[in-house]
Structure 1
């Protein structure tokens, strides 16, 4: 007879893929966010809320156990989407002025310049959307 409270000697294989799955999902979502922002010529910061929902769903699909680790992973994945999207939007705007493609401009954009451009582009309402997304990721992933 096996003890139902005994912990397995190794982690289930799907638990090892959860971080990779959520990182890949964050990058893909950031790409969609960048495309929408370029098409609309706006920041589209409300997309951060959908990035949070996407991160939570991916973690649940990967069967990551509920708790503080899943909450931390959801907030980190949402933060990654936010950072990548803002970097890509800034790179696309600068690249357009210089005749570069967004991915060419992104590799030349330094972190301080990207931070400055994101600070100039994000208004208080945009910052509220980003904060709401991080809060939603923390609450929904519990």
Structure 2
């Protein structure tokens, strides 16, 4: 039996971190897509906020530090950025056909979304989108 003043080992709830990351990522996709569609700008800087949020939620959820947490934060950041680019392109094209972004998204091809995203993103947006996974890697350690 351990001594009363010996701290208990901390248990890791990786499922809690994954659940928080899933909910936070979905919320970030909705918020970022809504902002982009409402203003007509891509707002690439939000990718940096998504990177910090992913790293923070994994840490808050009790996922142990290390390479796994950093890679998961970076992967979530990339997934959020891709989903937003897809939904924003779908929102603009779908609006012309009377469709909501989630209705138009399955009808969009990857190359078409890539072309539309290249046209819509500024240089600063592209820099932020490129830096976001690197920030998530650093913050997620």
Give, in angstroms, the shift of residue 27 of structure 1: 1.8
2:108 aligns to what? 109
1:34 aligns to what? 33
Instruction: Give 3-state SS (helix, strand or coil) of 1:35's partner.
Output: helix
RMSD between aligned residues: 2.0
Does the alignment pair 1:52 with 2:51?
yes
Q: Deviations over 1:22-76 (max 9, x none)?
A: 1232121011000000111100111101101110111011111110000001101
Give, in angstroms, the shift of residue 139 of structure 1: 0.8
Q: Is the 8 A contact 2:24 2:53 kept in 1?
A: yes
* Separation in 1, partners of 2:85, 2:23: 17
Q: Please list, as runs of the form range in 1=range in 2, the aligned pairs for 1:1-142 lying within 5 A after superposition.
A: 1=1, 12=12, 14-142=13-141
Instruction: Give 3-state SS (helix, strand or coil) of 1:59's partner.
Output: helix
Structure 2's unaligned 5+ residue stretches are: none
TM-score (norm 2): 0.87
Q: Is the 8 A contact 2:55 2:139 kept in 1?
A: yes
TM-score (norm 1): 0.86
User: Which stretch of the first structure deviates more once superposed, 49-58 or 17-26?
Assistant: 17-26
* Separation in 2, partners of 1:54, 1:61: 10
Q: Is the 8 A contact 1:26 1:55 kept in 2?
A: yes
Structure 1's unaligned 5+ residue stretches are: none
* Separation in 2, partners of 1:59, 1:123: 30
